[in-house]
Amino acid sequence: MYEKAPETIWWNGSLVPWDRARVHVTSEVAMRGTNVFEGLRAYWQPESEQHVVVHLHRHLARLAQSARLIRLPQAESAESVARLLDGVPELIRALRHRGDLYLRPTLYIDEGRYGWRSGQVKLGCYIAGYPTDPRVDRPMSCVVSSWRRSPDLAVSPLAKVGAAYQAFRLPRIEAAMAGADEAILLNTNDTVAETGGAAVFLVRGDTVVTPPLADGVLDGITRGIVIDLLRSRWGMKVVERSVPRSELYVADEVFVCGTLDEVRIVSSVDAVPIGGGTWPVAEGVRALYLDICAGQQDPVDPAMLHTVSSAPPGPDLQDRSTGSPPL
């Protein structure tokens, strides 16, 4: 967590001092976590002195989808999403940070209870932006959690709803208690779903396998980018199919991908080493993904990188904060 927060936050259409963005303790968002959110990365490209946001429009389209899935009022949600779209570049410029940023556009119920008709609730929205932590290059260790990914008929894994992330708290504690970096969750059919923040991929010979959305997987934006890269840059076969737990232990390679994790190699699952110390496919995808975000290689889809030209140089936000964005 932050010792010192950023000075500025975008809140309901305006840039305001961080401490001004408040909700009441009894509000629906504070009490039941009724919000939908996105996590975006804005990569700083020093040669061109600009930030590039990865798939800004796709992220905000998914935010609108999450709002629809939990039946936030549609007209008000659409209006807020349009404001958030403008707010992202505004905030990036205002932060004046010459480095990578993590941004969290969020839409929440400020006033009113479970109501879903227009007029019954008042929505609020904000975007918080943080300098990202230094990248962790080492491969990570995972455990398979004893907790399950919530089924579609409970809280849909397709919706990024704040309250739903409570379901990742205990798996993460379980992983930490086992001395591992991350937990992989199975779904209620006992096949592999995902981690609390990333899609899971397995390399099996010349084929790469990842669980389908129906197996309790968020429609991950990085997941889509990685599938495109594997197919179009290396001609690899990528198959979306259910993955039994045991297959994790015998895969040639396992890696995860998501906005925050980017592409991370998994070196062990439940203390079983994966891949014998080399992970050529995962290392290749990771390097290519990071090069694209750094502007050193072209993306498969030119719409992937949304450019935000920088404001005149100002004080560096990184100097004033530490730690990672609150997950």
Ligand X SMILES: Cc1ncc(COP(=O)(O)O)c(C=O)c1O
Site of interaction with ligand X (CB under 6 A): 39, 160, 194, 196-199, 218, 220-223, 258-259
- Least distance from ligand X to the Cβ atom of residue 104, Å: 10
Residue nearer to ligand X on the CB measure, 250 or 327: 327
Q: Phi, psi at residue 228, to the nearest 5°?
A: -60, -40
Q: Which is nearer to ligand X, 39 or 129 (CB)?
A: 39
Shortest spacing between CB 204 and ligand X, in angstroms: 21
Query: For residue 6, how many other CB atoms are within 10 A of its CB?
Result: 20
Residue 130 Cβ vs ligand X, minimum distance, rounded to whole Å: 15
Judged by beta carbon, residue 13 or residue 33, the one nearer ligand X is 33
Please state, in angstroms and rounded to a whole number, the distance separating the CA atoms of residues 105 and 114: 22
The structure tokens listed for 237 are 């076969």
Kind of pairing between the strands at 262-269 and 253-258: antiparallel
Nearer to ligand X, 53 or 94 (CB): 53
Output 220 or 295, the one with its CB closest to ligand X.
220
Which C-beta is closer to ligand X: that of 131 or that of 258? 258
Min dist CB 197 to ligand X, Å, is 5
Please give the full DSSP string across 65-126, using - where no structure is assigned.
HHHHHTT--HHHHHHHHHHHHHHHHHHHHHHT-SS-EEEEEEEEEEESSS--SBTTBEEEEE
C-alpha 261/C-alpha 73 separation (Å) is 32
Compute the distance between CA of residue 10 and CA of residue 129 in angstroms, rounded to an integer.
9
| Local structure of residue 132 (DSSP, 8 states) | P
Q: Rounded to an integer, what distance in angstroms lies between the CA atom of residue 255 and that of residue 67?
A: 30
CB of 59 to ligand X, least distance (A): 7
User: Smallest distance from the beta carbon of 6 to ligand X, in angstroms?
Assistant: 21
Cα atoms found within 13 Å of the Cα of residue 312, Cβ hemisphere only: 0
Smallest distance, ligand X to C-beta of residue 235, A = 23
Q: Residue 123 or residue 218: which is nearer to ligand X going by CB?
A: 218
